[in-house]
Structure 1
Amino acid sequence: MKNRMTDLLGVEYPIIQAPMGWIARAQLASAVSNAGGLGIIETSSGELDEVRAEIIKMRQLTDKPFGVNIAQAFVRDPGVVDFVVDQGIKFVTTSAGDPNKYCGPLKAAGLTVFHVVPTLAGALKAIDAGVDGLVVEGGEGGGFKNPKDVALMVLLPLIRSKVDVPIVAAGGIVCGRTMAAAFALGAEAVQMGTRMVSAAESPVHHNWKDAIINAKETDTLFLNRHGPGPALRALRTERTTKLDIEPTDNIMAEMRGVLDLYFGGDMEAAVALSGQVAGRIDSVKPAKQIIDEVMDEFYAVMNDLRRDYL
């Protein structure tokens, strides 16, 4: 497959793995890159020493392209740009903050920069900041969200109608059919988070993977819409059901036990961030199988549409 994104990233397929904190490290990201997509190493954990070690490990596990995400709300180290540049990274996504903060210095160092946006206003601000492209994130995706969430079906074509840079679609992407839909709406690549959390190479505890596999399409909750702090989409558990009924005034405190959830398997220790596509995932598969199946279905859907309607 050839388009602006494959040319820009140097990858076989325009499929990007989302930069989930603590999860998007070398084990998972290298599997995605080796399968022809683009693995991303996270910084949202804030553990830059560990992230540096993961980047070193990444280069031992793959010779394919990969990128790094700078999650501005969680990484406050003023040297993060130098950190990324020193690692020899060529592609960066920035998120959870002002695109003007890091875009200039990163581009001056020769990096390609995409910014994650949840609204049209955010997209236009990122374009003005000089980004090379956008990750357009719908409210159906998992993780920390804009409290005024907009579904990808509305947001993506709206932003595409106003900008001409490459767009990565995020939120609700899980298969070739959803990838084809995203391309019809104006994307040139897709990003998958929840699908990769459940991948065989994902380092999270099998209890979380099982919860995704067993989830219905209604088994996520959009929490903390009215703040303070970020809104988020998470799996329905006893803890999140209570938070939905009785909102907290400190949603980030609910994440203190995150490592016990992620790697210890205690699903009530924190909030399990997951997108609505959990309701469509029914098995754990290796990253290569996921990507191969997505691309096979994508081509099949595109061919069927052409045959039936053109």
Structure 2
Amino acid sequence: MITNFKNKTAVLTGAGSGFGLECARIGAKLGMNLVLADVQQDALDKAVAEISALGAQVLPFKLDVSKADQVEALGAATFERFGAPHFVFNNAGVGAGGLIWEHTLKDWEWVVGVNIMGVAHGVRVFTPMMLEAAKKDPSYQGHIVNTASMAGLLNAPNMGVYNVSKHAVVSMSETLYQDLRLVTDQVSASVLCPFFVPTGISQSHRNRPEEFKQRGIKPTKSQLIGQAMSDKAVGSGKVSAADVAQMVFDAVAEDRFYIYSHPKAINSVQTRLEDVLQARNPTDPFAHKPEIGSELKKALRAE
């Protein structure tokens, strides 16, 4: 149980918007030192100005989480300014939709680089630092939160590369939790699995680096449909990013591993796991809303 957040240090990637920014706002109110990292400079500048105005000690860092050397530099800068962090939120992520065989090589490299390797770099850089701090100070407590998604527990159609990346984050987080349990009682981990929540995720292509841009390639029909569905679902979410950020802090305080924004969505996870246990073919994901499934089929099959 972690009850005191005051003067503790938190590192947040994707801190310029969505869950990252909302967690930073809560951290500032709790009197924490905050390392705010984001790939988008203007969003980062705005977040730093707001969080500093709340009285928090802030270290800003422009960061592409997919780049190992940049995450290593973030680790060094954090340690130099605040020492080993107590909390690490590996939160940065990007989305991409479309039929799985229509993802280009650049789609795969971009999404895997940010969503999987970004979390892997965060775990690789900060966990040893936190374990070292725990060894030196019996009162030290640390916690790592990796942002996955309900797409890490389900496999909705037309979201292939995103599903793959988020399943990897769930797996990495569960393994991290178990591995930490082997070596310490002072550092723990959680995985955040939000459902559709209004954040910047559906517009993540705005930060797609030059090297991964598709020159002269038009989005396919399935990708356009995927983008429209994502915009609609994310935009109409009833649970806010601020609500989810509070859930994250509550879970960290209670050392709860799985953090769900929409507990009712677990019914779909149960159906999937029963498919696995009974070795039956995957259940129609639109069984409860057949009109959405038939619309999607019609749109994809239309000439």
Is this a same-fold pair by TM over 0.5?
Answer: no
| TM-score normalised over the length of structure 2 | 0.39
Which structure is richer in relative contact order (CA contacts within 8 A, separation 6 or more)?
Answer: 2
Bigger share in helix:
2
| TM-score normalised over the length of structure 1 | 0.38
